[in-house]
Chains A and B, each alone.
Chain A
Amino acid sequence: MLTQFGATAESLSKASTMMFRIGTDAHLYDDPDDVSIAPLLDSKFESEKCEALKRLLALIAQGFDISNYFPQVVKNVATQSLEVKKLVYLYLLHYAEKRPNEALLSINYFQKDLGDPNPLVRAWALRTMAGIRLHAIASLVLVAVGKCARDPSVYVRKCAAIALPKLHDLRLEEHTAAIEEIFVEDMTMPHELITTEYMKSMIAYRLDYNLAFDNLHIFWRIYLSSSESQHIVGMLLKDNSPGVVGAAASAFASICPNNFSLIGRNYKRLCEILPDVEEWGQIVLIGILLRYAIAKHGLVRESLMLSFEDLEIQSQEKDDPESSHLTVRKPFDGASLDICTEIADIVARSYLEGPDKYLARLGHVNQDSLGFDGSCITSATSNDDVKILLQCTSPLLWSYNSAVVLAAAGVHWIMAPKEDIRKIVKPLIFLLRSSGSSKYVVLCNIQVFAKAMPSLFSPYYEDFFISSSDSYRTKTLKLEILSTIATKTSISSIFLEFQDHVRDPDRRFAADTVAAIGLCAQKLPDVSNTCLEALLYLALSESSNNAVALMGEEEILLVQVVKSIMAIIKQDPHSHERVIVHLVRSLDSMSAPAARAMVIWMLGEYCNIGVLTSKMIPTIFKYLAHRFHSESVETKLQIVNACVKVLLRAKVEDISELRLAISYVLELAKYDLNYDVRDRARVLKNFLSHCKGFNYLEEADYRTEFNDLTYVFAEYIFGGTKKVPSESFSYRFYLPGSLSQIVLHAAPGYEPLPEPCSFADDETGHSPTNVHNDHESNEIDDSDDISGSLDEENTSDYSSESVSGEGGDSYIASDSGEDEEAGTLIHLSDDAPDSGDHDRVSVKNTSSGLMDAGELMSKRALESWLNENSDSGQNSSNLSQVQRSLARISIKDIGQLVKPKSYTLLDPTNGNGLSVIYRFSSEVSKVSKELACIHVSFSNHSEEPMCNIFLAEEKPNPSPDSSEKSGSPSESVLVSHDKEATLIPMEEIDRLNPGQPADRVLQVRFEHHLLPLKLVLSCDGRKQQVKLRPDIGYFIKPLPMDIESFLKKESQLPGMFENIRRCTFSEHLNQQNDKDEPPQKDIFLMICEKLALKMLSNANLHLVSVDMPVAANLDDLSGISLRLSGEILNNSVPCLVTLTLKGTCAEPLEVSVKINCEETVFGLNLLNRIVNFLAEPPR
């Protein structure tokens, strides 16, 4: 009966759960493939499709690979039902990368959906399209994003902002291939396994790593950061809706975190909008604003970050300026703000440099080398930008989202004046009441704050009292914080609390508490006696407990107690003799080997500090000798050590008593089972045989020098005079709220704060407004262009604008350009090769193209970089500190140095004494832009004058009327549109006397033919066929542009428009050898110049910029990159050349040449040409 009832109850409950599950998707999850899915997908009913898709989703959830359904699913993207669409999108996002070809089928539907009136449909289409990661459609997506960024719906704009990082990520990957070839070993680094072991090894190879990372960084910047997307980000940051701004901030953080100019324009607005941005955006935006403020204005004088500097200045004023950092210690300065300046200093430096770098630097370089100079310091009271940032972040301390609170607290921690940091304490502590997970993270951060500034938290010690529901890690963190912030007034309450924890059932935690007691005692010497009492009592009671119950866990506590006692005693052993006596007395009841070993160590170490101990020693050694066989190895070793120590220090009258026990012990040890004990016993016995204790019967003068030596050794090893090593500050600090701070190593992508004042923009300051506006409008134009296809019209428009700027008012225009994008770069204006002359204004030193780094930088740029502090003495050191930054150097007058290569058209031997040499010129033809100019030099090497020298095109029907041609050359050019190369003939040379040279200009339309051009040279009526070999390097003409537009252009020409080849460049080697140039720093410049010269001598290009990594070591040229631009003569298609160097000065350099050009074939040809002439030996 009863069982029956039970059965019904069971079935009832089953039935009820069945009822409960009816109508849900449970059956789909449980048996997703119990029907065949394929026909359902092809069904014409939405509901069946929907079911099929749900089944597929269930399979995805359970981890099955179902990409084989892809084609059928893709078809359904055309559906009208939003639910089906959503499910299809979910499926597509999961598998598109695996099946790129099929995924392409869906693109049309996305395009269609992007025009849908329903914003939800548009947003979904954009999200999916950007998410499916097909390289082929990256440009399409960019256009779509640009369009959606202007969508009327906030939601769509927000999705556009979020889509940008996806695109960026995709592009990153695309370029990885290119970068990988150059820096294979480096690319793998960030994706390596991140373990502590790995981190350690990384610190060991720190230099290499840093270097590698610098290069990567450079590459990413070059390839990616200045792209279309940045313009869109800039636009979205200006959006009116806070929701969009938040998403744009996250896009900014992942695409171009260092493009501060984007922030600079909107800084005030962003600050004001900050409280209205949704919480997730707030977190990111706070970080961005903080970085901007540091980069723009530097650190705040009153803030904690510079507390050390204050102190240093004070101390320098007070006494000798030589006083070193570490001796100036002021944990409690009179005011209520006690700051552990030492740690605060480490914290500040770690934030700025990253702890890996900082700690490594500590090892070998003097700390002072990175003293912040006064220029990077601002004041919170006078600087509006800092003030507004602090103002706008302070209400966020009340946010519901703990991440926002922590981010806001981080800003105040770094930027706020010391007195105002208090503000963050209560909100931080309140966070401890939120979920357990965030509690742990918050505590990790509080721990750092408390270490640097214990006074902040010391009034709130009660909030760190441990509750039993805390996890073990939380408890230990709280203990550590408590021992950090304990003060004289609070220590008694804290101890009361600790003594409760000692009785906690979790013995591990109890042991940690004991360790914390030890720490407090060391920190506050006043209480150390009481602590010792308590610990001693604990040790005694614990050891008695252990005698009763031997449990593994119990040992931990006892060992920790003894350890803490030991630590306290170490500070002042003489006053604690009594404690040692007590411990030794309880040795018998102590069973934990580690604890016994420590007590014996103390015995040996302090055997002669007082009367009591020395009296005890003989008895104790008898006891130890008695127990020796039953001790553990660890204890045995300590006993043997103690023997030596005691003998070394014992008074002569005690030795006789001791000798027996000790020799017994050593004898036992000699035959111990453990080889360690045996070995040590033998070594020590050898020592002792020469010591006073053992051979006291011998004559005093028996001691030889050798014996003295062993005695000295023994004394040295066991003498105990060694100082207790002071606790080294090897903490690793990362920015508050960062992941790295929690895992205590730099997570990939972690970046310390930017270099203070590394960003200077003149926009708000003294830059001419018209230039500024000009640039603005330019930019808006550009971003508008995104939506349309990027045809040449726009680009040429853009470039002509900048050309006119440079031509007319040249300096202002180029200046504004550089200030605009300065970032952390040193940028110097660069002149087009032919306009080198009228730009002298800015350059003081024009003597040669070669100058050293200090002189090379124009003063103005330097000033803006150093913020009006151009101490020339500091330049070089500063330069070397700016890791990861690039110096953009310019090579002046390179135009004058360019000597285009000459070729022989006619040898004097073949031409009856007439020699004809031609070289391609960089001039642009006045007749038509499609013509290349060739300088032809004639010279008469014969004895007689020559007449009627004329060079003309060879025609199948040689009837060109020369007069007609010369009469209307332009017409003839325009008319002759056959595919042959066309020539505007030169003026005829009537007469050429012997030895007389004559120069003529030949203008040829090559039409990209690389075949030799057959010409007929008529001289004195004789005709001779000559061949002019076209040089593809002169099928182009310089296209002046600034670096920003270069990068922008470059990013528009990815994929098939981009070609890379590699060659070696060794010209600099010869030069170096024969010139024997002493100054090392010139090598960089020299090589840059060599390379630029080589390029400009062989191809008609415009040198856009020369970048070199400032921080690289002197020998390593890797990372230097040259950018050149040109446009193809006959169709004005831009052609961008980037040279990147790798290698060291002493070896042939590896140059990778990259060409971005829409005319792929032309680009390839040009590339081959460049590679050829770069590789060919110097003339």
Chain B
Amino acid sequence: MLQCIFLLSDSGEVLLEKQLTGHRVDRAICDWFWDQILTQGESLKLVPVIASPTHYLFQVVREGITFLACTQVEMPPLMAIEFLCRVADVLSNYLDGLNEDVIKDNFVIVYELLDEMIDNGFPLTTEPNILREMIAPPNIVSKVLSVVTGSTSNVSNTLPGATASCVPWRKTDLKHATNEVYVDLVEEMDATINSFVLPGFSVFLSLFLHYSGQLCSGSPVCIDGHPKQLANVFYLYSLSCSDLSPLLILLLLRDGNLVKCEIYGEVEVNSNLSGLPDLTLSFANPLIFNDVRFHPCVRLRPWEANQILSFVPPDGQFTLMSYRVKKLKSTPIYVKPQFTSDSGTCRVSVLVGIRNDPGKSIDNIAVQFKLPPCVKSSDLSSNYGSVNVLADKTCSWTIGRMPKDKAPSMSGTLVLESGMDRLHVFPTFKVGFRIMGVALSGLKIDKLDLKNPLSRPHKGFRALTKGGEFEVRS
């Protein structure tokens, strides 16, 4: 079980330590950890489980804050990681975001929360609704009160009734003036798209080589379209042809090849219902789900039987389920990057446009990529939106809403390190966008029923699609 939790700032300062068991962990472990980060680079920050000489460390990094937990004995590592994620969620929920200052400012609350959330290294109360009842979140009123009257208590005097109920995620006696429930479909599109440098020169070589009388599909060799390289290929094959026949070379022209395209979606519910409502939510096309995961409140049997979500909702905002829809055929926008290098410089041009009009406007479009390390300097500009090149060679192009009249494009030149003739590594473009009012997976909510309505609630549905891991390879 976990022995200690440390909160570290992004400069390695220990903000808080909370010892959980009798086996105390010295802070020196944080120094060790930070030394490792400094020597091995930031990449270590992405390693969730580290074996230090004395302890096993689990880390989760959220918005610059490192949550570090230590143990000395065997325990499920995912349990520790999930718990740290949960702590991070609860804290950022309580404190409206996470940063060094906000944690320092509310360290008492953080301590009290941690104390409730974990006892002797085993998670105790992690349900946000109960926590909120036990420890009041800081708000304007309490702040003002504390200024005026000195100190106020944020620790509740009574045990939340939900701890005893069979639906621990819900307060027992809730009363809302307005009975309303909103269901949002929030979808993220993950896509990987290959595009080739110069459509004219792009060559896709698929070789069907006839070896020992047996025809088998060979690995396609892709060559980007520099004439010199193309010459290389033919040189190579002229050599190989000497003892191989027949040789078939297929030249394919492609612009943009969808490697994969899928939707990761969440059904987010905002429920403000009185009493103990029992909801059922059904979809018009539940078969499109590839994978699903549910909030603990969802009863699993009805889903197994009829693909119906039956649940007693927690109060307020929560994620009812998440799902994945695979093998989508198209993306709403396209990004076409082109690199042409010539004697130490490289011309870049990136085009963005709508491919399949989703019917709603696309906004928050942003394209981001990292300049390869061999680029010495860059000069990039766009005809729409703003281009920024950050110190770590990240180039971000913020477009915003897609203009109606023209296709946004960015162009410029990259100067390569001296001695480099041409660019041989190519960055990946990350694309962000947002489309309100559309669930690109095609998921449709059929109906939402209340089994024991006190009064007819107001129901609302919305949908939203965002760019998730949307990548375009150049």
Residues of A within 8 A of B (CB): 17, 21-26, 28-30, 46-47, 50-51, 54, 57-58, 60-63, 81-83, 86-87, 89-90, 93-94, 97, 118-120, 123, 127, 130-131, 133, 153-155, 158-159, 162-163, 165-166, 169-170, 173, 191, 193-195, 241-243, 247, 250, 254, 275-276, 278-280, 283, 287, 395, 398-403, 405-407, 426-427, 429-430, 433, 435-438, 440-442, 462, 465, 467-469, 471-474, 491-492, 495-497, 499-500, 503-505, 507, 510, 526-527, 529-531, 533-534, 536-537, 540-541, 545, 548-551, 553, 578, 582, 737-740, 742-743, 745-751
Given contacts A276-B166, A437-B60, contact A503 B77 (CB under 8 A): no
> Does B209 lie at the interface of the complex (its beta carbon under 8 Å from any beta carbon of A)?
yes
Q: How far is A496 from B157 in the complex, measured between Cα atoms in Å?
A: 63
Given contacts A47-B151, A540-B236, A582-B239, contact A250 B47 (CB under 8 A): no
Contact A162 B122 (CB under 8 A): yes
Neighbouring A residues of B405 by C-beta, 8 Å: none
> Does B194 lie at the interface of the complex (its beta carbon under 8 Å from any beta carbon of A)?
yes
Bitwise, B129-154 to A at CB < 8 A (1) or not (0) is: 00000100010001111110011011
> Does B374 lie at the interface of the complex (its beta carbon under 8 Å from any beta carbon of A)?
yes
Contact A61 B17 (CB under 8 A): yes
Given contacts A194-B53, A503-B426, contact A747 B108 (CB under 8 A): no
Bitwise, B69-109 to A at CB < 8 A (1) or not (0) is: 00111111111011111000000000000000100111111
Q: How far is A21 from B217 in the complex, measured between Cα atoms in Å?
A: 67
Interface residues in B, total, Cβ within 8 A: 131
Contact B219 A500 (CB under 8 A): no
Neighbouring A residues of B33 by C-beta, 8 Å: none
Q: How far is A159 from B221 in the complex, measured between Cα atoms in Å?
A: 63
Q: How far is the CB of B121 from chain A (nearest CB, A)?
A: 8
Contact B374 A533 (CB under 8 A): no
Q: How far is the CB of B20 from chain A (nearest CB, A)?
A: 9
Among A402, A505, A742, point to the contact of B370 (Cβ < 8 A).
Answer: A505
Q: How far is A165 from B21 in the complex, measured between Cα atoms in Å?
A: 10
Among A163, A504, A740, A747, point to the contact of B120 (Cβ < 8 A).
Answer: A163
Q: How far is A7 from B319 in the complex, measured between Cα atoms in Å?
A: 45
The stretch of B288-296, B380-388, B458-466 that contacts the partner chain: B288-296
Contact A534 B221 (CB under 8 A): yes
> Does B275 lie at the interface of the complex (its beta carbon under 8 Å from any beta carbon of A)?
no
Neighbouring A residues of B19 by C-beta, 8 Å: 93-94
Find the residue from B104, B220, B471 having the highest chain A CB count within 10 A.
B104
Bitwise, B233-244 to A at CB < 8 A (1) or not (0) is: 100100110110
Please name 27 pairs of A and B residues whose Cβ atoms are closer than 8 Å in the assembled complex, sorted by A: A23-B142, A24-B143, A58-B107, A120-B158, A153-B159, A158-B124, A193-B53, A195-B53, A241-B164, A250-B1, A399-B294, A401-B82, A403-B78, A430-B290, A437-B60, A440-B48, A441-B77, A469-B430, A503-B424, A504-B425, A505-B373, A527-B216, A529-B218, A533-B209, A537-B233, A737-B76, A738-B74
Q: How far is A133 from B20 in the complex, measured between Cα atoms in Å?
A: 12
Contact A441 B22 (CB under 8 A): no
Among B17, B164, B229, point to the contact of A60 (Cβ < 8 A).
Answer: B17
> Does B307 lie at the interface of the complex (its beta carbon under 8 Å from any beta carbon of A)?
no
Interface of B is mostly: mixed
Neighbouring A residues of B219 by C-beta, 8 Å: 491-492, 495, 527, 530-531, 533-534
Q: How far is A740 from B77 in the complex, measured between Cα atoms in Å?
A: 9
> Does B473 lie at the interface of the complex (its beta carbon under 8 Å from any beta carbon of A)?
yes
Neighbouring B residues of A499 by C-beta, 8 Å: 220-222
> Does B16 lie at the interface of the complex (its beta carbon under 8 Å from any beta carbon of A)?
yes
Among B74, B126, B194, point to the contact of A749 (Cβ < 8 A).
Answer: B74
Neighbouring B residues of A582 by C-beta, 8 Å: 236, 239
Nearest CB in chain B to that of A193: its residue: B53
Contact A467 B471 (CB under 8 A): yes
Given contacts A30-B104, A748-B73, contact A468 B471 (CB under 8 A): yes
Contact B78 A500 (CB under 8 A): no
Neighbouring B residues of A537 by C-beta, 8 Å: 221, 223, 232-233, 236
Q: How far is the CB of B120 from chain A (nearest CB, A)?
A: 5
Neighbouring A residues of B372 by C-beta, 8 Å: 505
Contact A250 B122 (CB under 8 A): yes
Q: How far is the CB of B310 from chain A (nearest CB, A)?
A: 13
Nearest CB in chain B to that of A498: its residue: B219
Contact B222 A540 (CB under 8 A): no
Among A89, A173, A430, A495, point to the contact of B293 (Cβ < 8 A).
Answer: A430
Neighbouring A residues of B306 by C-beta, 8 Å: none
Neighbouring A residues of B211 by C-beta, 8 Å: 529
Contact B107 A472 (CB under 8 A): no
Q: How far is A478 from B243 in the complex, measured between Cα atoms in Å?
A: 37
Q: How far is A21 from B48 in the complex, measured between Cα atoms in Å?
A: 33
Neighbouring A residues of B471 by C-beta, 8 Å: 467-468
Given contacts A24-B138, A403-B78, contact A467 B163 (CB under 8 A): no
Q: How far is A533 from B107 in the complex, measured between Cα atoms in Å?
A: 61
Nearest CB in chain B to that of A243: its residue: B168
Neighbouring A residues of B221 by C-beta, 8 Å: 499, 530, 533-534, 537
Contact B293 A25 (CB under 8 A): no
Contact B78 A406 (CB under 8 A): yes
Neighbouring B residues of A548 by C-beta, 8 Å: 419-421
Neighbouring A residues of B112 by C-beta, 8 Å: 86, 90
Q: How far is A505 from B236 in the complex, measured between Cα atoms in Å?
A: 25
Q: How far is the CB of A988 from chain B (nearest CB, A)?
A: 67
Q: How far is the CB of B343 from chain A (nearest CB, A)?
A: 11
Nearest CB in chain A to that of B60: its residue: A437
Q: How far is the CB of A749 from chain B (nearest CB, A)?
A: 4
Contact B236 A24 (CB under 8 A): no
Find the residue from B51, B142, B192 having the highest chain A CB count within 10 A.
B51
Q: How far is the CB of A956 from chain B (nearest CB, A)?
A: 60
> Does B46 lie at the interface of the complex (its beta carbon under 8 Å from any beta carbon of A)?
yes
Q: How far is A749 from B121 in the complex, measured between Cα atoms in Å?
A: 15
Contact B374 A549 (CB under 8 A): yes
Contact B153 A81 (CB under 8 A): yes
Among A81, A89, A540, A740, point to the contact of B74 (Cβ < 8 A).
Answer: A740
Neighbouring A residues of B115 by C-beta, 8 Å: 86, 89-90
Contact A468 B240 (CB under 8 A): no
Contact B159 A120 (CB under 8 A): yes
Nearest CB in chain A to that of B292: its residue: A398
Among B23, B47, B76, point to the contact of A473 (Cβ < 8 A).
Answer: B47
Given contacts A158-B124, A492-B217, A503-B426, contact A280 B79 (CB under 8 A): yes
Find the residue from A495, A505, A540 having the highest chain B CB count within 10 A.
A505
Nearest CB in chain B to that of A750: its residue: B74
Given contacts A467-B471, A529-B211, contact A541 B232 (CB under 8 A): yes
> Does B312 lie at the interface of the complex (its beta carbon under 8 Å from any beta carbon of A)?
no
Q: How far is A1142 from B106 in the complex, measured between Cα atoms in Å?
A: 56
Given contacts A278-B168, A505-B373, contact A29 B77 (CB under 8 A): no
> Does B259 lie at the interface of the complex (its beta carbon under 8 Å from any beta carbon of A)?
yes
Q: How far is the CB of A131 from chain B (nearest CB, A)?
A: 7
Neighbouring B residues of A545 by C-beta, 8 Å: 424
Q: How far is A81 from B157 in the complex, measured between Cα atoms in Å?
A: 9
Q: How far is A1081 from B427 in the complex, measured between Cα atoms in Å?
A: 71
Given contacts A283-B79, A435-B60, A747-B73, contact A21 B151 (CB under 8 A): no
> Does B111 lie at the interface of the complex (its beta carbon under 8 Å from any beta carbon of A)?
yes
Neighbouring B residues of A169 by C-beta, 8 Å: 21-23
Contact B46 A436 (CB under 8 A): yes
Q: How far is A194 from B50 in the complex, measured between Cα atoms in Å?
A: 11
Q: How far is the CB of B29 from chain A (nearest CB, A)?
A: 12
Known A-B contacts: A155-B159, A435-B60. Give 12 more (CB < 8 A).
Answer: A63-B17, A82-B155, A83-B154, A97-B24, A169-B23, A193-B53, A400-B296, A400-B322, A469-B469, A491-B219, A550-B419, A739-B75
Neighbouring A residues of B56 by C-beta, 8 Å: 194, 739, 743, 747
Among A60, A254, A742, point to the contact of B1 (Cβ < 8 A).
Answer: A254
Q: How far is A474 from B48 in the complex, measured between Cα atoms in Å?
A: 11
Given contacts A398-B292, A537-B236, A749-B74, contact A118 B159 (CB under 8 A): yes
Q: How far is the CB of B269 from chain A (nearest CB, A)?
A: 14
Q: How far is A191 from B71 in the complex, measured between Cα atoms in Å?
A: 12
